[in-house]
Structure 1
Amino acid sequence: MAPGPVGPTGSTVCSATIAAGDGDCESTERSRLRADLASASPSMQPRPRHRLLLLLLHLLVALAGAAVSHSHGGAAEDAACRAANRTGGAEASLRADRLTVLLSGYSERRLPLLRAIAGAYAAHPLVHAVLVLWCNPATPPRLLLRGGGGFPRGVALRRAASASLNSRFLPRPADIRTAAVAVADDDVLPDAAALSFAFTTWQQQQQRGNSAPLVGFFPRSHHLDLARGRWAYTAAEPGRYSMVLTKFMVLGTGLLYSYSCAPGLAPARAVVDRERNCEDILMNFVAAEESGAGPVLVDAGSVRDWGDPRNDANAAGADEEGGVMKDVGLSAAGGLRHWEKRGECITEFHRLLGRMPLRYSYGKVVEATVGDQGLCSKGGRLVRCDQE
């Protein structure tokens, strides 16, 4: 048999067209490969070495996947959804006359303010429970439980396994015993009248259908940017809006399960983890999809917002060292890029879902004014006629 072509190292390489039965070249080549491997690692035979390399590769891939899942809260989502599935059918036993407040915290600088806000919520007669969801895994426990007092009575602390913003919407059947929840930031506090009115408005919306829309105080909108071929995220237009923010929103408890456990939303939740942003936009998508309606904006009482960058610098709120609070939030830190990124989120959610569920709402729900609406001239001024 004629020798085959010569390889780059001078060794003979078997032809690809060896006839059946002419196995001499194949046998020689296998022997040469075994010899090369043995010389490279004399103490290890080639097959065990290959198996070990494959085993190490699989182990590294598994560890990397576990790390990504853990850092993005995937394991927490799975556990919460399993717990919610085990309590399926318990919705009928949820209290409709009270709500649970889910108060998110991350910044250690805001802890004094967070404690005060949590205590104010817990004192409200319509609040059944307050859960502080601490989403900063790096915070030492001693800082959260400073002086042994921790948070006020009636406030439960739940530490998230990761910093994932999706943790805000995890179903928590062991903690939530109400049909509605209020999701709130750690630098916003509606007064008692505003909180009561927002919850009452949600109850009225719930009575009209199977799934009530979101109710909130802080509106935003979206529109299609035809020049750029993408969605834009904007402030509420005059008389029209399509989203409310998680600065404060009231929603049905069932939406927590829809957001966190729907397999079809997994890619969208991954966007939230990747961008560290836009969880409120995704919840608006979910709520609009289920209710078929836009959110409801309410106007009652007053809502203190320490995180708004328009606060006066010396009156925005401070930590124990006197540091200003207002520059801690995502929107304050991001500037125009923050708005651009949120527009990109809307575009990406639309692409992933294959549809645009957001609906525009018009007007707002306001507290009824008891008394005459007519105006009379009194003392050279126009005032309500029933005003003394």
Structure 2
Amino acid sequence: MTGVSIILYNPLYIGPHWFKGFEKWLSPQDRMPSKKLKFSSLLVLVVVAICFYAWMDDLINPGSVPHALQRFKSSNKANESFTMIMPTFDRTELLFDLLKHYQAVPYLKQIIIVWQNIGQKPPLELWESLGPHLVPILFKEQTQNLLRNRFLPFPEIDTEAVLTLDDDLQISIPDINFAFSVWTQFQDQLVGFVARTHTAHAKGVYTVSTPKTDRYSLALTGASFFHRRYLKLYHDQDSRLHILVDSIKNCEDIAMNCVVSFWLLQRYGPDAPPAAVHVKPVDMKWLEMKTKRAKKGRGNIGLSRRPGFVQQRGYCLTEFVKIWNGTMPLHYNNITLTLTGKKQPQVKMPNAKKGRK
């Protein structure tokens, strides 16, 4: 929008500077100052007319603005930006490093920090003293340290897209931009950077593991985009689901994938696409061991490193299916997209039945 502002509001800037590029095309007679002014004025009028036409055309036919002018548009539409939600516990030192990193992310409207350090005031004043900052930070203090707090439907969320990130994860800005562009095309699905798969065993028992092939059925919500509607849907789930997740401090991401899948089945029926779409990051780092407390063995090094963590996840999914009266909502996908120069497979919406089990 900066370039357009200069054109519209400062024509004298265009005249003497822009004219040099066109002067060689004019005859010697036309290179008189009066001719220069006329030519510059004409150029300004042409540019203004193009921009005005594009603006009017967009009012009449939304989305029809020529691609060359699309970048000059300024819009507050809810689906053209996103909100980042990051729960944090005992990682203030690392949190500030991540907040500085994510300040440069385009289309990021705000960052909501779910403050899980019960009884401690969030470091808002300290953060603001390091400003100014491009992206506003909102601390939401919690009264209980619960995993499902990351899925609370905070009233301050006014974007359609939500990006949930763990407080020890640093993803490159190009990767985030790419994943957001994927989500804008598939807004009903969960677009995530880390994929997992489920496996059915005898007697209705399930396990959840890292995929050994290109087939997966879940995207971890520690690094995922999804529609804000799913926050309310997750909040409204059967209390037995919340009790299970709270008691073992695990599986909130599996539950969210199931919530998304159920919504897709309700909307699209038998041809519903899988809940998860995997975007493989080019540059993603787990930074949990970089904190001083973690190096000394006293810090929070992540719930996923606890003994029995993986076994608990299979148990959770088995119990979730029982809560949902024996229905397994998860379906498989085999599409992985990544930010490279190579041609990638196309994701179709809705997906065909062949990807289901």
Identify the TM-score tier after normalising by the shorter chain: 0.5 to 0.7
Asked whether 1:280 is paired with 2:253, we answer yes
Which residue in the other structure is 1:97 paired with? 80
Whether 2:300 is the aligned partner of 1:362: answer no
Contact 1:112/1:320, CA 8 A, preserved across alignment: no
- Decide which of 196, 202, 226 is 1:251's aligned counterpart: 226
Q: Who is 1:303 aligned against?
A: 284
Shift of 1:105: 0.2
CA distance 1:325–1:122, change in 2 (3 Å): farther
Alignment correspondent of 2:194: 218
| Matched-pair contact (CA < 8 Å) for 1:133–1:168 | yes
User: SS of the counterpart of 2:148?
Assistant: helix
Contact conserved, 2:124 with 2:139, CA < 8 A, in 1? Answer: no
Indicate how the Cα distance of structure 1 residues 370 and 281 shifts in structure 2: closer, same or farther if over 3 A, else same.
closer
**Aligned to 1:346, what secondary structure does the other structure show?**
helix
The equivalent position to 1:134 in structure 2, one of 93, 98, 115, is: 115
Partners of 1:320 and 1:277 in 2: how far apart? 23
Alpha-carbon deviations, 1:21-71, whole Å to 9, x = none?
xxxxxxxxxxxxxxxxxxxxxxxxxxxxxxxxxxxxxxxxxxxxxxxxxxx
Note closer, same or farther for the CA distance 1:277–1:123 as it changes in structure 2 (3 Å cut).
same
Q: Is the 8 A contact 1:122 1:155 kept in 2?
A: no
Looking at secondary structure, tell me which structure has more helix per residue: 2
Q: Does 1:114 align with 2:95?
A: yes
Cα distance in 2 between the residues matched to 1:225 and 1:205: 31
Provide the residue aligned with 2:140 in structure 1: 158
Amino acid at match of 1:178: T
- Which residue is equivalent to 1:189? 170
8 A Cα contact 1:144 1:150, kept in partner: no
Separation in structure 2 between the aligned mates of residue 302 and residue 260 of structure 1, nearest angstrom: 32
Partner Cα separation in structure 2 for residue 111 and residue 183 of structure 1: 18
Q: Deviations over 1:221-248 (max 9, x none)?
A: 111122x641111112311111111220
Rounded to whole Å, the distance in 2 between the matches of 1:246 and 1:103 is 11
TM-score for both structures, normalised by structure 2: 0.66
CA apart distance, 1:294? 3.1
Determine the C-alpha separation between the residues in 1 that align with 2:128 and 2:254.
36
Aligned residue for 2:123? 144
CA distance in 2, matches of 1:320, 1:256: 32
State the shift of 1:363 in Å. Answer: 2.8
| Structure 2 residue 170 is matched with structure 1 residue 170 | no
Q: What is the distance in 2 between the residues matched to 1:133 and 1:121? A: 16
Unaligned runs of 5+ in 2: 1-75, 265-271, 344-357
Tell me the residue number matched to 1:339: 310
Deviation digits for residues 151-186 of structure 1 (CA, Å, limit 9, x no counterpart): 86421111112112111111112x111100001100
Change (3 A) 1:147 1:221: same
**1:270 Cα shift?**
1.6
TM-score (norm 1): 0.61
For the 8 Å contact 2:241–2:320, the answer to whether it is kept is yes
Aligned counterpart, 1:351: 322
Q: Which has the larger radius of gyration?
A: 1
The change in CA–CA distance for 1:364 and 1:148 in structure 2 (over 3 A counts) is closer
Paired with 1:249 and 1:325, the residues of 2 have a C-alpha distance of 29
CA separation of 1:321 and 1:345: change in aligned 2, threshold 3 A: closer
Instruction: Decide whether the 8 Å contact of 2:104 with 2:173 is kept in 1.
Output: no
Query: Residues of 2 paired with 1:370 and 1:261: CA distance?
Result: 42
Q: Match for residue 376 of structure 1?
A: none
Shift of 1:275: 1.5
C-alpha distance in 1, partners of 2:252/2:312?
A: 12
